Amino acid sequence: LALLGAADRTGMGKQDKGMLQLNDVNFSRFKSASAKTIELGQIHAELYSKIAIMASLDEKAVKALSAGVEAKIDAVAAEFTKMKDVQDRKAMASKVLPTIARYKKAVADAIDMASMDPNTGIASMQTAASEYATLREMLALTVKELEAETTASILASKAANQKVVWATCGTLLLTMA
Q: pLDDT, tens digit, for every residue of 119-152?
A: 888 888 999 999 999 988 888 887 787 778 777 7
Cβ neighbours around 161 below 10 Å, total: 16
Rounded Cα gap, residues 146 and 154, in angstroms? 12
- Angle made by CA atoms 49, 51, 52, in degrees to the nearest 5: 65
pLDDT at 90: 80
For the chain, how far is it from start to end, CA to CA, in angstroms?
13
Dihedral Cα 127, 131, 132, 133, nearest 10 deg:
100
pLDDT at 2: 59
Q: What is the CA radius of gyration of the chain?
A: 25
What pTM value is reported for the model? Answer: 0.71
pLDDT at 98: 94
What would the mean pLDDT of 67-89 be, rounded to a whole number? 84
Predicted confidence (pLDDT) at residue 22 exceeds the cutoff of 70: no
Averaged confidence pLDDT in the chain = 80
Predicted confidence (pLDDT) at residue 71 exceeds the cutoff of 90: yes
Environment class of residue 50 by beta-carbon count within 10 Å: exposed (0-12), middle (13-18) or buried (19+)? buried
